[in-house]
Structure 1
C-alpha cells in the first residue's frame, strides 16, 4: 500500500469553485473518511483522486509519484461506488475477474485472485450466480471483491453503503472494518453518514463548501470540535446549542453562564462554568454573548448519580417528547426557553409531561463565539 498526498488542490466548474485549497496527507495503511453534507465537495475530491475529474490546480501524489495528470488506469487505484456497477450478463466469478482479464493477467493468477477474495468476503458459494440472483449486501460484497482482486495501491469507496437498508448497512460496516484490519489497506472513503465516519475511520476530514474544516481522529472531531458546524454535524442526536452571556461568578472565583430565553428576552437561569476550564481568552469575553454546546449524553437523570457526589449542575426540565430506542432513551425538553435533547439510560421511566431532574456535566461542555462560530473553550 502507498501513502496519498494532496497538496493545494482547487477545482472549479465554470465560475463555481467546488474545492478550495485542499491539502491532505494520508499515511500508508490509513483509513481516512471524507464526511460532510450533500454538495460539500467530498465526491468531487474523490473523483480528482481517482482521475475522473482533472484538478484546476494543485498536486496529487501516490507514494513518491506525481499522478496529478495521470489517467485513472495509470494511477493504480480501485474504486467502489454506491451503485454496484456489476455486469448483469456475467456471473460473480466473471465480474470479479473481468478487470484482471483486461489487464492481461494470466488465467491461473486470475482464478487464484478470485478464490482469495471470494474466501475473504465469504462469497465462494455465490461465484456462479448472476447479479440478479443476489441480495443488495451480496452485490456490494462482489463490488468490493472486484476492487480487492486488483491489489492496487489505494482503495476509494464512494458512499458504498447508501443503497442498503439500515440493518444491512450496519453489517457491511462491520465487514469493511474487519477487512481493513486484516489487510491494512490504504482507504479513502466518502460518506454523509457521520455514524459510518465515527465507527470506521482512523481519521475524519469534515468538509463544508469545498473546504476541510477539521481533520482528526473520531475522538478529536467529536469531543474537540473546532466550530459549531463540526460540533453539530458529528453526533446523533446532534449537540445542543444554548445562547449564553459569560459573567463573573457572583461571590466566587471563576465565571458563570447566563442562559437566555430568546422568546421572552430574559435570562432564564445561570450555570456555573468549571474553574478548571478557565482560559485567558475567556477573561477577555466577560459580558459577551457566546454559545454553550452540550451533547445529549452530557445530561444525566439526577437519580442516576449518587446524592453524595454532587456531580454536575442540577436542573429541572419538563419532558415534551420521549423516544425509547432500546439501548437508551432520548428526552426532548425545554431548558430556559431552549429545546434540548438528553440521552437517558434504557431503564428511564420518564413520560411526556413529567417534571425531570437532570444534572448537566459542564466539565465536558464547549463554548463558541456567537459571530464566528469558532470554539473558544
Structure 2
C-alpha cells in the first residue's frame, strides 16, 4: 500500500502551468526527496500534498484515501517549515504539545509524548525555554519535535535546513537520517541542495519546469542520469560535458575530442556499453559526460581500457580541498574538473598523465540532450 500517491496533478497560476500532470507513488516508510532548482515546482507540489494549495486537476491519495479536496487538518500530515514557525510566546514544551492540546489529547498523554519526543531529539534540557533563547539548530529540532509528536501518516519537510550554517546543516542532516532509520516514518522532503538529496533519500525525484524528469535511487540519478540536466544538477562538482565527434561503428566506436593547440584526443568507447542509438550519431557532434572522479592519476600498474584510458593534459588550476585535489584541465572546447588524490604533486602549467574511466562515462544527444549510452 502506498502511503502517498499523486495522480496526474496539475497546478496553474493565472494561466501559467506550474505543475504539469505530475504522478508518483511513495511507499510506507520511504524517504522521498523532491529536488530541483528554484521555480521548478517542488514547493508547489509540497503545498498541494499538504492541502495549502488547491490543485487545478488530478488527485492526491494518502493511505489509499482521496484527500484532494480535504483541508490540511483532515489529511493526517505534519509539516516542518523552512522558517520553523514556532510560537514565540510559548515554551518549547508548549510548542511541542500545542497541536496535541488542540486535538483534545489527555494531559497525561500529552506530557508523556513531549518527554518522549524531547528525549528522542535530545532537547529535554530546553523544554522550559522560549524560541528566542534557542539557536537555529535548536529551533529546528523543536519544529521537528512538534511534527513528531503528531505521529501522522506522512511527514512533509520543506527545505528545513536552508536557514542553518554549513556545519549545522551537516549535523542536522545526520540527525534526520538517524531519526528516519529509527522510526521508519514516511517522509517527503523538499530541497534545492543535491548533497542533502544524495545523503538522505531512499529515492529522489528530480524536477524541472513542473515536471519530474527522473525518479530513482540516489545511485540511479547520479550514475544513470536520463538527460544532461539531471547529470549536471546531481553531483558536486558537477559532471563535465565535453563536445566530441563519434566515429566508427558497432564493435568499435571512438570519440574524437579536439582541444585548441593540442593534438586531437581519441577515446575508445567500451563495446559492452554500445547502444543502438549510437549508430545514428556516427559523424555527428555528441556530448561526453565524465564526472570529476572518473579521472585518476596515471599509474604504471594499470593497463588496458577497463582500468582507464590514458590521457595527458596541461593543468591550469589546482584546488586542494584536504580530502582530495580538484584540477582544472583544458579539454575539448572548454575546461574540465578532475578529482585526484591529496598526494598528487602537480604544478599549474605542467602536463599530467591521467586515466579516464570510460566504463562509467555517459553520452548525450547534443540536440535533444537526452541520454544515448
Aligned mates of 1:54, 1:267 — CA distance in 2: 59
Mapped pair 1:258 → 2:253: no
What residue in structure 2 maps to residue 195 of structure 1?
Answer: 195
User: What is the CA-CA distance between 1:25 and the residue it aligns to?
Assistant: 0.4
Mapped pair 1:325 → 2:321: yes
- SS of the counterpart of 1:284? helix
Q: Structure 1 residues 2, 286: CA separation in 2 closer, same or farther (over 3 Å shift)?
A: closer
Aligned mates of 1:322, 1:141 — CA distance in 2: 39
1:253-292 matched pairs, under 5 angstroms: 253-261=251-259, 268-292=264-288
Aligned mates of 2:235, 2:292 — CA distance in 1: 9
Aligned mates of 1:142, 1:321 — CA distance in 2: 45
- SS of the counterpart of 1:257? strand
Mapped pair 1:18 → 2:18: yes
1:334 maps to which of 316, 319, 330: 330
User: What is the CA-CA distance between 1:283 and the residue it aligns to?
Assistant: 2.1
CA contact under 8 A between 2:302 and 2:308: conserved in structure 1? Answer: no
User: What is the CA-CA distance between 1:248 and the residue it aligns to?
Assistant: 0.8
Mapped pair 1:52 → 2:47: no
1:105-116 matched pairs, under 5 angstroms: 105-116=105-116
What residue in structure 2 maps to residue 67 of structure 1?
Answer: 67
1:120-139 matched pairs, under 5 angstroms: 120-139=120-139
Aligned mates of 2:346, 2:37 — CA distance in 1: 34
- Most deviating of 330-339 and 175-184: 330-339
Can you list the C-alpha shifts for 1:207-263, whole angstroms capped at 9, x where unaligned? 0000000000000000000000000000000000011111117xx9411011144x7
1:306 maps to which of 301, 304, 328: 301
1:353-364 matched pairs, under 5 angstroms: 353-364=349-360
User: What is the CA-CA distance between 1:267 and the residue it aligns to?
Assistant: 8.0
What residue in structure 2 maps to residue 369 of structure 1?
Answer: 365
User: What is the CA-CA distance between 1:309 and the residue it aligns to?
Assistant: 5.8
Q: Structure 1 residues 6, 267: CA separation in 2 closer, same or farther (over 3 Å shift)?
A: farther
CA contact under 8 A between 1:35 and 1:191: conserved in structure 2? Answer: yes
What residue in structure 2 maps to residue 243 of structure 1?
Answer: 243
Aligned mates of 2:46, 2:275 — CA distance in 1: 39
- SS of the counterpart of 2:230? helix
Aligned mates of 1:363, 1:307 — CA distance in 2: 15
CA contact under 8 A between 1:254 and 1:278: conserved in structure 2? Answer: no
Can you list the C-alpha shifts for 1:47-98, whole angstroms capped at 9, x where unaligned? 0000000000000000121000000000010000111111111111011011
- Scaled by the length of structure 1, the TM-score of the pair is 0.95
What residue in structure 1 maps to residue 227 of structure 2?
Answer: 227
Aligned mates of 1:60, 1:253 — CA distance in 2: 48
CA contact under 8 A between 2:88 and 2:131: conserved in structure 1? Answer: yes
Which ranges in structure 1 are unaligned for 5 or more consecutive residues?
Answer: none
- SS of the counterpart of 1:24? strand
Aligned mates of 1:274, 1:144 — CA distance in 2: 48
- SS of the counterpart of 2:264? strand
Aligned mates of 1:320, 1:224 — CA distance in 2: 30
2:291 maps to which of 295, 302, 312: 295
Can you list the C-alpha shifts for 1:257-311, whole angstroms capped at 9, x where unaligned? 11144x78x98322111122122221232112110000000000103x6245662
1:147-226 matched pairs, under 5 angstroms: 147-226=147-226
